[in-house]
Amino acid sequence: MLPERSKRYAGIDGEIPRLILASNWQLALVALLVLALLFLIFPRQTLVQKLYEQESLDELTQSYIQNLYRADRKNADIGILLTRAQQDSLDIKTLEDRLLASVDADDARQRTNSRIMLARAYEKALTGNPGEPERQRLTAQLTAILEKVSVEPISASMSRFFAGAAFDLRLPHLGLVFLAQVGDEEPIKTLEQYGKKWLGQGDYEVAAQYFLMARDQTADPDEARRLFQRGIGSLMAASRFKQAMQASDTHLGNLSGDAATLRYLVRTAQAAGEPVRAADYAHRLVFQASRSKRQP
């Protein structure tokens, strides 16, 4: 025998009533129980920690994090994790909206991740040849991050990353601060490499700055002479004659009695249209030669 409900026809006996499996309050209770169970199995901080430790997130995890972020956009950890997974496809404005508030966070993990992602984003944006107002804004933002990081203890890999960012931003002094944190034994080589880079791009003044900073880092006369001449020569190539002569006095240092350097400066001063200065260098050269002859 069929139950009474099965014998009824729609249209004759009216709409067939739906069986009620559970009331709304019962469904709400089940949902709360499931959430409570998930919270017990996966405590929030433990879950966040595990997600931070993962190099990449699968699509399912990304979708889960995105839903969490939609529910709570003020959750810094979730915002950072979601941004880290999507950073290659996000524009600067979205990145800043999500991360700028965490740049100075008390939580070191939030602070570090936000700074690294923003620094990379600013570097990438600067290579895209933005308009001058935007370039100035990006440069100022990146410089501010570098200055904040430079006074905090960070890992060796981070120090190298931020050093590269500083050198690319034409901030060699700041780059040296980061290199000092990792005990870089070859800052001279690094500075010279960047000097060659800027020289190859035709930015002679910046190249000179790097060459002369490298010169100041070495006490070896031969290396100092070579870097000194590259730095002054870069300024001369840019027709920055007055600046070249001023830099000569500033960075001469232990080369003040070096005959080869003095001969170079005589020629350079003459080329710069400063005969008085050339005569001074020539006088020093003669004096140096006479003193050498008097020595037994």
Q: Is the Cβ–Cβ distance between 178 and 162 less than 8 Å?
A: yes
pTM: 0.71
The pLDDT assigned to 181 comes to 84
3-state secondary structure 88-106: HHCCHHHHHHHHHHHCCCC
Q: What is the share, in percent, of the chain residues with pLDDT greater than 90?
A: 48
Distance CA(111)–CA(99), nearest Å, equals: 9
Rounded to the nearest integer, the mean pLDDT of the chain is 83
C-alpha 212/C-alpha 231 separation (Å) is 5
* pLDDT (tens digit per residue) in 259-294: 999 999 999 999 999 999 999 989 888 876 555 544
Identify whether the C-beta of residue 211 lies closer than 8 Å to the C-beta of residue 192. Answer: yes
